[in-house]
Each structure stands twice: as C-alpha cells, then as structure tokens.
C-alpha cells in the first residue's frame, strides 16, 4: 500500500489506519517514558495543522522549525505539510546571524520552536524591518509569561484552536492534504555550509519517499524497529531516519529527555536500528577507554585479552565466515564476560542494523564495534541525494569502502576522479539559487558530489579518498589526502580533532585538539595539575604523548605506498577546541579546512618556518554571543617520520 502514498501525510493516514495501536513516538519526560500510537499521532498532527491554518498559514508558505528532538516538533513538520506549506528545520544551536540569513533567504512566515532560547534568537534575528515572520508557536512556555503574546502562541493553544475549528476548517485541511502530489515540495533543508553560505536544498515527496522505500527494503526494516532521535532535526539524516523511514516502515521514534541523559536513555530504549556520525562512536570509545583505565588490573587484563580476540575473529563471525571451533568458543566466553556487558552499557544490545556516515570513520574505530558483534555499516550520502548514495550490504562490510550503489542510484567516476550520481532522491533545486543548481546538477540529472573516489575492481565497492578540493599533490608529486591521516589520528581517545595541511608543500603538518575528558582523566591518574584547557594542552607530558600518537600514525601511513607522503612532519596542539560558533566547524561538526588555515595562518607559517614556538591571539565567541580573545604561546613539535614500507621493520628494531 506504500506505493499509493504520495506524501508524508498520506503515509501518516495509512499508518493510523493499519498500525493505529502500534507505538509511533516515545519521549522521556521527568524520568518517565511517554508513548503515542500512530492513531494518537494522527490526531495530534491534525489538530496542529488546523490550528496553523486558523493562524492564517496558506498553501506554499514556509515555516521554520527549531528545537531539540521532541515528538511535538516532528509532528509540526508533518502538520505544516498537511496544511500545504513547507517545513524548514534549522539548527537549534545556530548563531543569531545564521538564523537571520536563513529566515531572510527562505522568507518563512511562521516559526514553531522548542523553548525560550529559540524564541529569543528568532526575535533577535527578525528585529530588522521587513521580516516576513508574522507569528511564532512555542512548545515550552517557561520564561515566556511576560513576553508580548500578540505574535506568540503556545503549541497547546494552537492545537486547542485547531480542534475548535475542525468543523470550519476540516474540509479545507482535507482538500490541502489530498492535493499534495509526488513532485510537490516535502521539506527544505539547509546544507552544512562547509565551503560557504548554507544553501536551501528543496526535496520533493518523490525524493524523500522513494529513497526511504528503497533503504527500508535494503535493510528489511519493519514497524517493529526502535530508533533513537537525538541528532539535529535540521540535518537530512535525521529527517530521513526519524520521519521518512519511520513513516514508510511504521517504526517507533524515541526522543531522549535531554542531551545530558542521552546515554542513559539509549540504554533504556536499546534501539534495533541506530545511526550515529563517527564523532559519536569516537566519543563512546573514548569513554570506554577512560573507564577501563580506572578499572582493576584483572578487569583491564580481561578486557584487553578478549578485545584483541574480538578484533581478530569478531567481524568474521558477524559476517558468517568460517572461524575455527576454539576461536568461536573463546568468542562466546568473551561475549559472556566482556562484549555483552559492554554492549549493554553502550545501549547496543538489540542493534540489528547500525549505520555511520557524514564523515569517514577511522578503520580502527569501525573494527572495534564490529568486533563486538554490532552490525555497524557505512553509507555515503548527501543532503542533495536525500541521504543515500551507497550502502554496505550485510556480509559485505569493510572499513575502507562505503559499499555499493543504493537501490535506484547510478554512480559514475569523472576523469578527474570526482564521484557523480543520479537517483530518484536527487534534489529539485537550491532555493533561489539557479546558478548553484546548474553547477551541481546537469540537464541529465547527474549530481557532482565534490568527493574524489574510485570503484574497486572485483568487489564493485566505492572508495572515497577525500573531498575533491582537498585531495592534491605535495610538492614532491605524491598524493595528498588529509582525511585519511586525520581519521587515523582521531582513533586515539586523547585526540578529539585533527586537521592536516600539505597541498603544494614539501611535507605535511597538523593541528591537533586534545580530548579534555580523556586527557584530563589521564592527567588526574598521573598527578598532573592544570588550571585550564590551554595549560593542559601545552603540558610537556601531554606533548610527549601526542608525539607518540603521531609517530604511530606515521608508521601506519608509511605502509601505504600511495599515501606514504602524507606522514605528519611537524604538529601543534591548539590552545582551543575547534568550534562551530567560531566558524571552524560546520553545525554537523565537519572541519572547515580553508577557514582554519586562514584563521591560524600565523601558526601554519610557524610550522613550515621551522620555529620552535609561536605566540598567537585568537578571537573566540562565547555562549552568550560576546566576542573575546585567547592569547597563548604554543610549542611546535617535530614528529618521527618513517621510510616507505619500512616503518614496521624500523619500529620493531
């Protein structure tokens, strides 16, 4: 029956009819899980849609949605669609100037937000004359009692007005919902803005539903799945997983109580279908390693022993390959003593299908989780593709590829190595930007990804090397692919972020960020005192530790003949964490390499100039929006470099 549904509201009506008593959403509030069935969700969405129409929402108008993951805000997106309008989710942690740009760009007439913070930011962003925003709806009214409510209404009051207006507006709502077509706009999502201003990506019902149907069938997802919605609602991945696939398959979306309780809520839900970007898996692994450092000697020895075994045979057992009887028995013992309890602690005991994407994940991190028996796979996607370009089929999972073309997707590699694709999920256009649309998507529907890659002979799997603009040559003529080295560096729990430079130079250098939790815990165990992140980052013993990590990575990189020139020769541990508020990362935590290179140009020059230290002043943005400066003297470190192919031999000697 999915084939007849040409919009998300149509899928909602189907689920309310066929899965009316099945759980659709859960939310933890005050420590208790609240649950709504598909039938109840349909009623909630209808009331909100009628209320928005009562406020004057017309067909084709745009509505901004902002806040943390809550069922009511997911319902808002579908209610807006039901009323014939277009939802535009934006990042809740976006700065005021970012919000102002997006509001002005899309011309949204209404906003549905989570709380006072979002109300304040939107009011500040629309303070200038000429804003199209005429009304705001808020979910949590704490702190808003004394605000001017002429253009401000609570979510509950809008729903109440909608229920009261059912007789008057019910037929009009039904008419608008029925009129939604497969090629009408489903949602507009802004890109992360890695290379400039975010672009508004217009996705149709066809784009979203066809992609969701294909991916649901690919992994045999059913209405019995449980997933945790905790990633930004403005990100295309969350829209696909928490709305598109949820409505196509009819499974339950669970919203944590807050970001601070996410780990506990994850354990309580025990999702069967799970997605996380590499940074989440890196953070979880760091937490595990920190805890094991504090464990007793016996527990630590057991952990190290069984994890070494899991790394060797775990992926083979997971993929159903031939493994000896003694190894299987030892793995079962490890499951009882280490793997099972660890998965339970992480909330991964019930995972049937897990994905990671958004950035390349370090192979060591990837193999750690698969060694535990978690069916973690990689996918490759973009906002412009409605996420899915490639996926890894079960039993064909590897850390160095992103899988095969997703169902319905065609892929070709251009002469310069750039990856192109076309599929039913390809976006309609960039909103109000025909020039960028034409540059990205040609007349035949082929889309340029901006990534460099190649197909492996035999397996047909796609390997992504790096962003095409980042892949280059060293002055020596050797290939430069910074992401390859950065991922290896970030495997170490002590390294939170790494940025490697070297294009057009004779050698590579790196900026590193320490992980304050991991390194702070290490410092406490080793009786090392410090008063700030900056002081800890420049401590001689921390720098010694970083030199060891970089040396290990260089030894590994030296074994890859094609990329051996990417070894890091010099590095510096930065005095501050890279931050989206400072423009150094996108809102999806992707590195803005060009911005970082320009902002820390003095440090980069010192690395290549042979200096031993550099005094620098850096502008930072505080949480309240104020600007300030951090001053520091950074110690520049030389790294151990290995001959090509001879690193292991030299290390052994």
Asked if residue 599 is part of any domain, the answer here is: yes
Residue 652 in domain = no
Whether residue 299 has pLDDT greater than 80: yes
Is 0.75 topped by the overall pTM? yes
Domain identity same for 46 and 157 = yes
**At 196, is the pLDDT very low, low, confident or very high (cuts 50, 70, 90)?**
low
pLDDT value for 130: 62
Is residue 421 one of the residues assigned to a domain?
A: yes
CATH code, 135: 3.40.50.980
Cβ 634 vs Cβ 572: under 8 Å: yes
> Average pLDDT of 522-542?
93
CA–CA–CA angle 165, 169, 171 (5° rounding): 140
Establish if 377 belongs to a structural domain: yes
pLDDT value for 649 = 43
Domain assignment present for residue 264? The answer is no
Residues 285 and 340 in one domain: yes
| In a domain? residue 507 | yes
- pLDDT over threshold 90, residue 211: yes
Cα atoms in the 13 Å half-sphere on the side-chain side of 139: 20
- Asked, for residue 559, whether it belongs to a domain, the answer is yes
Residues 164-174, mean pLDDT to the nearest whole number:
97
Task: Check pLDDT > 60 for residue 375.
Answer: yes
Mean pLDDT for 196-222 is: 95
Residue 647 has pLDDT above 60, yes or no: no
Judge if 629 and 520 occupy the same domain. Answer: yes
In whole angstroms, give the CA distance from residue 488 to residue 472.
19
Is the domain of 445 the same as that of 494?
Answer: no
Kindly state whether residues 193 and 282 are assigned to the same domain.
no
Closest CA to 637 of 518, 488, 537, 496: 537
Beta-carbon-side half-sphere exposure of residue 424 (alpha carbons within 13 Å): 16
Q: Specify whether 488 is located in the same domain as 451.
A: no
What per-residue confidence (pLDDT) applies to 128? 65
Give a yes or no: residue 265 inside a domain. no
Residues 286, 293 contacting (CB under 8 angstroms): no
According to the model, what pLDDT value does residue 648 have? 41
Kindly indicate the confidence band of residue 63, based on its pLDDT and cuts at 50, 70 and 90. Answer: very high
Domain boundary among 465, 490, 513: 465
Q: Which residues of 351-494 form beta strands (DSSP E)?
A: 353-356, 376-382, 387-391, 404-405, 410-413, 418-422, 429-430, 447-455, 462-467, 472-473, 479-480
| Sheet with strand 376-382: strands edge to edge | 273-275, 353-356, 376-382, 387-391, 404-405
Residue 421: which of 452, 458, 391, 447 has the closest Cα? 447
- 553-576 pLDDT, tens digit per residue, is 999 999 988 888 999 999 999 999
Is there a single domain that holds both residue 476 and residue 460? no
Question: Would you list the DSSP string of 116-136?
Answer: HHHHHHHHHHT-STT----EE
Instruction: For residue 279, name the pLDDT band (cuts at 50, 70, 90).
Output: confident
CATH number at residue 317: 3.40.50.12780
Domain identity same for 216 and 108: yes
H or E stretch at 489:
helix 482-489
Give per-residue pLDDT as tens, 408-456: 999 999 988 899 999 999 999 999 999 999 999 999 999 999 888 889 8
Instruction: Please report the DSSP string for 242-268 in residue order.
Output: IIIHHHHH--EEEE-S-GGGHHHHHHH
All residues at 6 or more sequence positions from 282 whose CB lies less than 8 Å from its CB, including other chains: 362, 365, 490, 491
User: From edge to edge, which strands make up the β-sheet containing 23-29?
Assistant: 32-37, 23-29, 252-255, 226-228
User: N- to C-terminal Cα distance for the chain?
Assistant: 66
In contact, 359 and 282? CB cutoff 8 Å:
no
496 and 402 in a common domain = no
In the prediction, which pLDDT does 653 show? 43
Q: Are residues 614 and 597 in the same domain?
A: yes
Domain-terminating residue out of 207, 222, 253: 253
Question: What pLDDT sits at residue 294?
Answer: 85
Q: Same domain for 488 and 520?
A: yes
Mean pLDDT, rounded, for 65-84 = 98
Lowest mean pLDDT among 137-146, 398-407, 471-480, 514-523: 471-480
Q: Please, what is the Cα angle at 255 between 251 and 260, to 5 degrees?
A: 150
Q: What proportion of the chain, given as a percentage, has pLDDT over 70? A: 97
With bands split at pLDDT 50, 70 and 90, how would you rate the model's confidence at 483? Answer: confident
Residue 2 has pLDDT above 60, yes or no: no
Report how many domains make up the chain. 3
Question: What DSSP character marks residue 240?
Answer: I
Give the Å distances, CA to CA, from 498 to 489, 568, 576: 7, 11, 12
Specify whether 189 is located in the same domain as 282: no
pLDDT-above-90 percentage for the chain: 77
Domain boundary among 223, 253, 283: 253
Per-residue pLDDT, 627? 85
pLDDT band at 129 (very low <50, low <70, confident <90, very high): low
Structural domain boundaries enclosing 552: 472-638
Which of residues 457 and 107 earns the better pLDDT score? 107
């Amino acid at each position: 029956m999915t084939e007849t549904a040409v919009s998300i509201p149509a899928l909602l009506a189907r689920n309310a009819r066929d899965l009316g008593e099945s759980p659709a959403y859960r939310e933890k509030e005050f420590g208790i899980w609240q649950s709504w069935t598909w039938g109840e969700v349909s009623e909630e969405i209808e009331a909100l849609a009628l209320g928005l129409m009562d406020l004057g929402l017309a067909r084709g108008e745009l509505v901004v949605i902002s806040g943390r993951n809550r069922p009511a805000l997911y319902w808002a997106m579908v209610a807006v669609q039901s009323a014939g309008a277009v939802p535009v989710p934006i990042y809740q942690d976006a700065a005021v100037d970012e919000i102002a740009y997006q509001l002005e760009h899309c011309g949204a007439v209404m906003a549905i937000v989570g709380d006072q913070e979002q109300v304040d930011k939107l009011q500040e962003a629309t303070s200038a004359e000429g804003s199209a925003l005429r009304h705001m709806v808020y979910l949590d009214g704490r702190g808003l009692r004394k605000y001017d409510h002429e253009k401000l209404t609570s979510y509950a009051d809008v729903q109440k007005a909608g229920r009261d207006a059912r007789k008057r507006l019910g037929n009009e709502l039904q008419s608008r919902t029925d009129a939604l077509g497969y090629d009408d706009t489903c949602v507009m999502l802004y890109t992360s803005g890695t290379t400039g201003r975010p672009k508004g990506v217009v996705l149709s019902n066809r784009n979203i539903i066809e992609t969701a149907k294909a991916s649901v069938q690919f992994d045999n997802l059913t209405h019995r799945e449980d997933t945790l919605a905790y990633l930004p609602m403005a990100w295309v991945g969350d829209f696909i997983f928490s709305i598109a696939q949820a409505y196509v398959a009819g499974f339950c979306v669970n919203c944590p109580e807050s970001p601070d309780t996410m780990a506990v809520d994850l354990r309580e839900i025990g999702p069967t279908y799970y997605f996380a970007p590499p940074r989440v898996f890196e953070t979880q692994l760091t937490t595990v390693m920190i805890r094991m450092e504090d464990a007793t000697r016996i527990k630590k020895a057991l952990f190290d022993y069984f994890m070494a075994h899991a790394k060797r045979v775990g992926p083979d057992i997971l993929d159903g390959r031939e493994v000896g009887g003694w190894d299987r028995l030892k793995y079962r013992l490890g499951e009882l003593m280490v793997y099972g309890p660890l998965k339970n602690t992480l909330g991964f005991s019930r995972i049937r299908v897990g994905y990671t994407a958004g950035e390349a994940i370090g192979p060591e991190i990837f193999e750690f989780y698969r060694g535990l028996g978690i069916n973690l796979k990689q996918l490759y996607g973009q906002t412009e593709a409605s996420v899915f370009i490639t996926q890894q089929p079960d039993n064909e999972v590897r850390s160095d590829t992103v899988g095969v073309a997703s169902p319905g997707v065609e892929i070709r590699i251009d002469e310069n190595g750039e990856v192109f694709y076309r599929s039913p999920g390809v976006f309609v256009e960039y909103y109000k930007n025909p020039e960028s649309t034409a540059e990205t998507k040609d007349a035949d529907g082929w889309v340029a990804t901006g990534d460099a890659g190649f197909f492996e002979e035999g397996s047909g799997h796609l390997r992504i090397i790096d962003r095409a603009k980042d892949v280059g040559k060293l002055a020596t003529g050797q290939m430069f692919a910074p992401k390859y080295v950065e991922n290896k560096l970030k495997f170490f729990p002590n390294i939170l972020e790494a940025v490697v430079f070297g294009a057009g130079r004779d050698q590579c250098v790196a900026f590193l960020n320490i992980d304050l939790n991991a390194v702070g815990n290490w410092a406490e165990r080793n009786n090392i005192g410090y008063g700030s992140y900056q002081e800890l980052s420049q401590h001689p013993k921390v720098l010694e530790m970083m030199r060891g990590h970089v040396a290990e990575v260089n030894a590994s990189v030296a074994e890859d003949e094609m990329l051996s020139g990417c070894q890091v020769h010099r590095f510096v541990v930065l005095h501050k964490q890279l931050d989206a508020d400072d423009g150094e990362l996108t809102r999806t935590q992707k590195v803005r390499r060009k911005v970082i290179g320009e902002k820390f140009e003095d440090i980069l020059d010192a690395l290549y100039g042979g200096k031993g230290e550099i005094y620098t002043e850096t502008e930072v943005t505080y949480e309240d929006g104020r600007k300030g400066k951090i001053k520091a003297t950074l110690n520049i470190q030389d790294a151990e470099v290995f001959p090509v192919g001879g690193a292991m031999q030299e290390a052994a000697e």
